[in-house]
């Protein structure tokens, strides 16, 4: 049975690393429109761009997309999604996928798969994705977020630290990963039940959330299960820097 879901793409114009990122040109179209096209191919009933910038709004409308203007002071994309879901009157049981506005290469099938993962776990509030890590430098990189799952493929904890810790294997060297170590890298794609989104803003931040700088820990802290979809390999990377933008432009030019 096909899962019914919506997609919201938060698109902040004031990016710290790459200002004006949603409007950056990629083969003749703004990045936000490229993401809109990918999300629209995922089978969602609706795709909305959530932004606080008129230039982004105008670019999306010119491409035939839907836009919801949101406040400029949201601390996270989750809060922006909550505003959209409330403003548009979506039901608590509805599923909405948060697709980042800097993911012009995202696979539409992955968007649908995360929505399906949440639909298949009736008690979960959120679904996300992860893939295996094979290199030790990734394991020990604090910019790579790791996740450990339980037997039901639900997240036990997310961390920038190397988890799980291979105590005996790393007693002598940390240059390689033990081949059987279940190491997963978190992918920042989320599906939410709207009822959780409406509660999110009222949840007090978790102490570990502050130290790890990972907002998904707030859900775990308050007892909301997060289902993790296990991927075979890493999806295409998004755009954080100018170098990333050059790489993505090359992909579209080659295609």
Percentage of the residues of the chain whose pLDDT score is greater than 90: 82
Count Cβ atoms below 10 Å from residue 23 Cβ, excluding itself.
17
Confidence of residue 74 (pLDDT cuts 50, 70, 90): confident
Residues 108-142 have pLDDT tens digits of 999 999 999 999 999 999 999 999 999 999 999 99
Contact in structure between 236 and 129 (CB atoms under 8 Å): no
Residues 12-49 have pLDDT tens digits of 887 777 888 999 999 999 999 999 999 999 999 999 99
Examine the pLDDT at 1 and tell me if it is beyond 60.
no
pLDDT of residue 16: 72
Confidence of residue 164 (pLDDT cuts 50, 70, 90): very high
Please name which of 156, 155, 226, 157 lies closest in space to residue 191, comparing C-alpha atoms.
Answer: 226
The domain ranges of the chain are: 3-127+183-249
Please name which of 9, 14, 25 lies closest in space to residue 80, comparing C-alpha atoms.
Answer: 9
Residues 201-233 have pLDDT tens digits of 889 999 999 999 999 999 999 999 999 999 999
pLDDT of residue 143: 93
Confidence of residue 78 (pLDDT cuts 50, 70, 90): confident
What's the CATH code, domain 3-127+183-249?
3.90.550.10
For the record, the structure tokens of 204 come out as 């007090």
């Amino acid at each position: 049975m096909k899962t019914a879901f919506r997609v919201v793409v938060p698109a902040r114009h004031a990016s710290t690393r790459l200002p004006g990122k949603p409007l950056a040109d990629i083969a003749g179209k703004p990045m936000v429109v490229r993401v809109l096209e990918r999300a629209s191919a995922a089978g969602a009933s609706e795709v909305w761009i959530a932004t606080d910038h008129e230039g982004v709004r105008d670019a999306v409308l010119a491409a035939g997309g839907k836009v919801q203007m949101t406040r400029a002071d949201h601390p996270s994309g989750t809060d922006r999604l909550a505003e959209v879901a409330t403003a548009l009157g979506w039901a608590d049981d509805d599923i909405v996928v948060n697709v980042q506005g800097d993911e012009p290469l995202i696979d539409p099938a992955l968007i649908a798969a995360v929505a399906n993962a949440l639909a298949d776990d009736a008690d979960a509030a959120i679904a996300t994705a992860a893939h295996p890590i094979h290199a030790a430098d990734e394991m020990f990189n604090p910019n790579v977020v790791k996740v450990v799952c339980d037997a039901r493929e639900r997240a036990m904890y997310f961390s920038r630290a190397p988890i799980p810790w291979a105590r005996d294997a790393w007693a002598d060297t940390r240059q390689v990963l033990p081949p059987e170590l279940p190491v997963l890298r978190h992918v920042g794609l989320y599906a939410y039940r709207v009822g959780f989104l409406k509660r999110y803003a009222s949840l007090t931040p978790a102490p570990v959330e502050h130290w790890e700088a990972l907002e998904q820990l707030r859900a775990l802290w308050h007892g909301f299960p997060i289902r993790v979809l296990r991927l075979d390999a890493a999806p295409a990377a998004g755009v954080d820097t100018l170098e990333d933008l050059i790489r993505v432009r090359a992909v579209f030019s080659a295609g």
